Amino acid sequence: MSAPATTRVPLYRLAHARAGDKGNRLNVALFAYRAQDYPLLVAQVTEEAVARRFAHRRPRLVARHLVPGLQAINFVLDDVLEGGVNRSLTLDRHGKGLAYLLLGLEIEVPDEASENTDTPRRREK
């Protein structure tokens, strides 16, 4: 039996994230814990992948900004807050918890890179 070339893991294992809101627009900034995992995020966490992950909120537009110096990708999602903090009927009107919706997205990780995926990775000193 040969080992598979890659393993599927939730982003949560490789990355952390923070959500912010302005009106009906959400931004989720995604950060690789380890700099060497950043290219994996850039390759796989595309606008399309994020739009699919948030499909039930019907994003009008998903923009992606790379910030390599912070090993970060900033996603800006238009019209996903069901009206925004002042109009929304959702429980979490700011969308603060939506960073964790993104962190549930699964990506393919090469086996070499996926060891110890039972615990989230920490940034290397």
Partner 1 sequence: MPAQILVGCPAGFAGDRFDAGPPLVAAMARDGRPAYLMYETLGERTLALAQQRQRAGAPGYLPDLEGFVAPVLAGCLDAGIPIVGNFGAADPLGAARRLQELCASAGRTARIAALLGDDLLETMGPAEICRLIPEDEGAPDPARIVAANAYLGARGIAEALAGGAQIVVTGRVADPALALGPMLHAFGWAGDDWAHLAAGTMAGHLLECGAQVTGGYFMDPGCKDVPDPADIGYPMAEIDADGGLVVTKPEGTGGLVSAATVREQLLYEMHDPAGYLTPDVVLDISGVTVHECGPDRVRVEGSRGRPRPATLKATVCYDGGWHGEGEISYAGPNAEARGRLAIDILATRLARIPGIRTHFDLVGVSSVFNDDAGRHLAAARGRGVDDVRVRAGVSGDDREAVQRAVREVESLYTAGPAGGGGVRLAVTPLLASASAYLPREAVRERVQFLDPP
Run of H or E residues at 66: strand 61-67
Token pair of 111 as six digits = 């086996």
Sign of CA dihedral 106, 107, 111, 114: negative
Reported as type and span, the H/E element at residue 125 is: none
Query: What are phi and psi for residue 72, nearest 5 degrees?
Result: -130, 155
Interface with partner 1, residue 123, by CB under 8 A:
yes
Nearer Cβ to partner 1 (2/119) = 119
The reply on whether position 22 binds partner 1 by CB under 8 A is: yes
Nearer to partner 1, 109 or 121 (CB): 121
Which residues are near partner 1 by CB under 8 A?
12, 16, 18, 20-23, 25, 27, 29, 31, 33, 56-58, 63, 65, 67, 69-72, 74, 76, 82, 85-87, 89-92, 96-98, 101, 119-123
